[in-house]
Amino acid sequence: MIHLYIARHGQTEENVQRILQGQMPGHLTQEGVLQAETLRDKLRDVYFHEIYTSDLLRAEVTTRIISEPHGGRYVLEPLLRERDFGIHTGGPYIKIARALDPSAETMEDLAQRAADFLTKMVCNHETSAAQDVHILAVSHGLFLRVLQAVYHQCPVREIEKMENAEVRTLTLCQDMHFDISPLEETGGTAN
C-alpha cells in the first residue's frame, strides 16, 4: 500500500500580499520558514521512500527544510506545479469561478496533471501486500485541492482548503485508476 503524504508549501510574501502566484516562484516569509520547520519536526520520524516537490521555488524551499532529517533528498516534479493563471499571474487574488483569460490553464488540464501524478505514484511505487511505502509530495493550494478531488472523485468545492504547511494523507493501491471528469471552476483562489 502507498501512503501519499501531501503538503502545501509554507506561507509566502505573495500569500500575505494576496497576489495570485500561479507558477511564479514565490518567496517564503519568516512565518513560512517556521511553518516548514514545524512540519519537518512533525514528519521527522516518518521514513519516506521518496520525496517529490513542485519545482517552483516556494515549494522547493519548503521541501529542503522538511527533507533535512531524511538526508535532504527529493525529486523535482513539474506535475506538482500550481495552476498556470496566464495573464492573471501576479495580479490580485481572483475567484476561480470567474471567467479566466484563455491563457490560463484549464481545470481539466489541471485535473489531468493531478491524475497523471497519482498514476505515476502507483506505477513507480508498486508494493507487495507485506510492505507499505511512504511518499511525500509538496505542492500548492489549488493543485492539492484538485488532486484530492480526483482521488475522491468529487467536485473541487467539496475539498477543504489546505493551510500553509498543512499535511494530509491519501492511500493508494496498485489497482487504482484516476478518472477525471470536468471539474467545476469553483473553490476559491490559488496560491
- pLDDT of res. 179: 83
* pLDDT for the residue 133: 93
- Provide mean pLDDT across the span 147-152: 96
pLDDT at 129: 53
Average pLDDT, the chain: 91
E strand or H helix at 118: helix 107-124
On the question of pLDDT at 128 being above 60, the answer is no
pLDDT at 99: 74
Cα–Cα–Cα angle for 114, 6, 26, rounded to 5 degrees: 80
Which carries the bigger pLDDT value, residue 179 or residue 55? 55
Residue with cell 505573495: 14
What value does the mean pLDDT take over residues 28-34?
Answer: 98
**Biggest alpha carbon–alpha carbon distance for the chain:** 49
- Residue 182 pLDDT exceeds 80: no
pLDDT score for 191: 57
pLDDT of 172 higher than 80: yes
Between 64 and 97, the more confident residue is 64
Please state, for a pLDDT cut of 90, what percent of the chain lies above it.
78
The per-residue pLDDT for range 91-123, each reduced to its tens digit, is 888 765 567 889 999 999 999 999 999 999 999
Strands 167-172 and 75-76: unpaired
The residues annotated as belonging to the active site are 9, 82
Report the C-alpha gap between 134 and 45 in whole angstroms: 12
Average pLDDT of the residues in 126-130: 62
CA dist., res. 135 & res. 49, Å (int): 6
Would you place residue 174 in the very low, low, confident or very high pLDDT band (cuts 50, 70, 90)?
Answer: confident
pLDDT at 183: 61
Q: What is the mean pLDDT of residues 121-137?
A: 83
Quote the pLDDT of residue 118. Answer: 97
